[in-house]
Amino acid sequence: AIRDSFNVSSITDNNVGDYTINFINALSSIDYSVGGIAGNLAGALTDLSKKEPFDIYNEEHEHYEKSDLDKGKLQQLKRCFVTVEDCIERELRHNNIAYQRISNPCNTLDVNLEILRVPSTSNDVDKEYRKEIISVINQLDNSIVTICNGEPTSSLNMVSNKGSNKFINCDTVVIATKPDPQRIIKYMRSTGLKEQAAVDLIMTDDINQAVGRNMGYRNLGTNKLPGTGKNKCLLIIPEDSDLTLDLHNVTSKIVNLTHWHSTRRDDRIEMCLKNQFLHKELINKLGSVYGKNHEESDQYKVLDALENHISNNPESSKIKLTDLNVNGINSKTIKKILENEDYTVRKFGKSCSNHVFLH
């Protein structure tokens, strides 16, 4: 976007964090200051020394972080903040500092991005969900790069992944977690946002950085152009009805883990839809973290066999019971399972064999 009519002919990537911007025309004077931003900007222009407590996650927290930046000098500078994070714009607006956007990030549909909603991604006292998620990922494929904040330490966290190019052309799993109370306080102070809005902003910025970089300029195709490679990314986010995310990389492949592993006919996801997911095997295995792994149950096997038959024979209005081919489960048990799921099973035709009638 910066190359689009903004007096920039090209950008040279010299090394990690070392770029050369080549201008088409020389600037009119030397009164310019350019800041290339790759870190956490919240609080850059705000006095954070006040100590009043904040109520975060229904608990009182004291803010301990101070700012030693000279706000007056920052306001006098003509600065160009190169960032796609929203926090700096929110802070400028909150502090009544005039600014001008030179370009807007665009939403990109990415067929290799998939989003999985899970009950929790935190390491609670009773259950270390994030630790178990990472363990399942490593057991399945230890070449997958996991990006997350907090313990256990992963290959990268939400900040350190911004400056590292060593994971170019790697598949990633990004585990989004609720931010630390101190970080929420910092964002609330610097932007004037309420707690939930600050949580939304933090998680949106973190996810856009982690997903966007690894599906964008680190995703090189055969022509070496960013964003044209075959990188896959699974974004795992906690179920939260209050959470609102504004993602730059978007996808239609969003699934709830509870529905994925459900054996209830009204909730479960059809096999033909599951087969479209690139991370199908990983999502199957992640069910064990939340006690939702029903793959070995008779009910799950019978319903999967039925769905496979339906997807292969979409015009069928009935299926012969013996055609389901569920190994190790007799016809009587299959009939009972299907009837419990409100399917009609009765004898039909000259052979008087049992058939499943599809509604």
Ordered by start, the domain boundaries in the chain are 8-94, 108-290, 298-357
Cα 188 from Cα 48, distance rounded (Å): 10
> Hey, which of 12-21, 52-61, 165-174 has the most confident mean pLDDT?
52-61
Write the CA distances from 299 to 206, 235, 285, 304, 338, integer angstroms. Answer: 40, 29, 18, 9, 8
What gap in Å lies between CA 65 and CA 9, rounded to an integer?
41
Residue 185 pLDDT > 60: yes
Residue 255: what pLDDT?
Answer: 94
Q: With a cut of 70, say whether residue 39 has pLDDT above it.
A: no
The H or E element that residue 40 is part of is none
For residue 200, the model assigns a pLDDT of 95
- Residue 38: which pLDDT band, with cuts at 50, 70 and 90? very low
Q: Look up tokens 């709830």; give the residue.
A: 256
Pick 96 or 160 by higher pLDDT: 96
Phi, psi (deg, nearest 5) at residue 109? -75, 125
Q: What is the mean pLDDT of residues 287-313?
A: 76
176 contacts 207 by C-beta, under 8 angstroms: yes
Q: What is the dihedral of CA 334, 336, 341, 343, to 10 degrees?
A: 80
Contacts of 273 (CB under 8 A, 6+ apart): none
* Contact assessment for residue 69 and residue 40, using Cβ atoms and an 8 Å cutoff: no
Spatial CB neighbours of 274, under 8 Å, sequence gap ≥ 6? 260, 280
In degrees and rounded to multiples of 5, residue 212 shows phi and psi of: -60, -40
- All residues at 6 or more sequence positions from 197 whose CB lies less than 8 Å from its CB, including other chains: none
User: Which comes out higher in pLDDT, residue 124 or 343?
Assistant: 343
* Per-residue pLDDT at 152 exceeds 90: no
Q: Which amino acid is residue 120, in one-letter code?
A: S
pLDDT above 60 for 64 = yes
For residue 267, the tally of other CB atoms under 10 A from its CB is 12
The per-residue pLDDT for 175 is 94
What percent of the chain lies above the pLDDT cut of 90?
A: 21
For residue 5, what pLDDT band results from cuts at 50, 70 and 90? very low
pLDDT at 80: 64
Higher pLDDT, 6 or 320: 320
Which amino acid is residue 153, in one-letter code? Answer: T
The pLDDT of 22-36, averaged and rounded, is 66
pLDDT interval class at 7 (50, 70, 90): confident
Joined tokens for residue 186: 């910092």
234 or 40: which carries more pLDDT confidence? 234
Task: Give yes or no for residue 282 having a pLDDT over 90.
Answer: yes
Residues in the chain: 359
Name the band, by pLDDT with cuts 50, 70 and 90, for residue 196.
Answer: very high
* pLDDT of residue 299 exceeding 50: yes
pLDDT at 157: 78
Question: Is a pLDDT exceeding 90 seen at residue 199?
Answer: yes
